[in-house]
Homo-oligomer: A and B are copies of this chain.
Amino acid sequence: MEIQGLPGRLLADLGPAIASGEIPEGAVLRGEELEARYGVSRTVVREAIRILESMRMVASRRRVGITVQPKSGWDVFDPLVIRWRLAGADRSAQLRSLGSLRVAVEPAAAALAAVHATDDQRRELGALAVELTVTARAADLATFLRHDIAFHATILRASGNEMFAHLGDTVGAVLTGRTEHQLMPHQPEPYAVKLHREVADAICTGQADAAEQAMRTIVQGALAELDATLGS
């Protein structure tokens, strides 16, 4: 999953630092300086920088150096960028953006899933809905989270749209993040769990509209809760 080797270590250090604003927009890094700071060769520095450049987080120009680009230009859909932002000072802004994205995408995905899901996927969703209900009653947050992530990822995958499917990991990161940072009630709300069952039912029985509506209620609720917790 991760970028390997020494360039990976550089990236794991520079990426979060830039994402969090610790290295601010407009800052200039020199390759030679990075070589010294990390005790690596030019090759390694250049490869790491190239990757950051392909994410539009930095731009490297001759006679100037490597300048940190304005946040507005970054590839905000890049999984690494999302993770780095979720980990740092930008966490709440990133959660808000992703919240809106979920409100847009997940209901549409649920509707498509009701039409396109395979039998296995429908079975899987039914099973996950049951698991969610049980672990919610038991207040087993860790297991609940795992199944919740699987639930949403399965629907995104079942939509049959590759782009939706790829948001599965991102949604997973959101759910993990909000659980880790106490942005959720200690025990999942029974109403939310009921809605998950409704979504699963609707998808299993091929009711696209019902699936879309129930899912919309879920993600709108999540967004509202987020806004409430983070303040406005």
* Chain B contacts for A119, CB-based, 8 A: none
* Chain B contacts for A53, CB-based, 8 A: 3
- B-contacting 9-mer, from A94-102, A147-155, A179-187: A94-102
Q: Judge if A79 is at the interface, Cβ distance under 8 Å.
A: yes
Q: Judge if A105 is at the interface, Cβ distance under 8 Å.
A: yes
Q: Chain A 48-90 against B: per-residue CB contact (8 Å), 1 yes, 0 no?
A: 0011011100000000000000011001111110000000000
* Chain B contacts for A162, CB-based, 8 A: 71-72, 76, 93, 97
A75 touches B76 (CB 8 A): no
Cα–Cα distance between A101 and B166 once the two chains are bound (Å):
12
Q: Judge if A232 is at the interface, Cβ distance under 8 Å.
A: no
Please indicate which of the listed interface residues A53, A55, A77, A104 has the most CB atoms of chain B within 10 Å of its own CB: A104
Q: Judge if A46 is at the interface, Cβ distance under 8 Å.
A: yes
Q: Judge if A117 is at the interface, Cβ distance under 8 Å.
A: no
* Chain B contacts for A107, CB-based, 8 A: 104
Within 8 A of B (CB), among A23-51: 43, 46-47, 50-51
A contact face: mostly helix, strand, loop, or mixed? helix
Cα–Cα distance between A178 and B121 once the two chains are bound (Å):
33
Task: Report the minimum CB–CB distance from A226 to chain B (whole Å).
Answer: 13
Cα–Cα distance between A160 and B83 once the two chains are bound (Å):
21
* Chain B contacts for A163, CB-based, 8 A: 76-77, 97-98, 100-101
A108 touches B112 (CB 8 A): no
Task: Report the minimum CB–CB distance from A164 to chain B (whole Å).
Answer: 7
Contact with A105, one of B96, B105, B159 (Cβ below 8 angstroms): B105
Within 8 A of B (CB), among A206-229: none
Q: Judge if A143 is at the interface, Cβ distance under 8 Å.
A: no
Q: Judge if A103 is at the interface, Cβ distance under 8 Å.
A: yes
Cα–Cα distance between A147 and B101 once the two chains are bound (Å):
25
CB-CB nearest in chain B for A54: B51
Cα–Cα distance between A109 and B97 once the two chains are bound (Å):
12
Given contacts A47-B47, A77-B166, A101-B161, 14 further A-B contacts (CB under 8 A): A3-B53, A43-B43, A46-B47, A50-B51, A51-B51, A71-B162, A72-B165, A75-B77, A75-B78, A75-B166, A100-B159, A100-B163, A104-B107, A104-B164
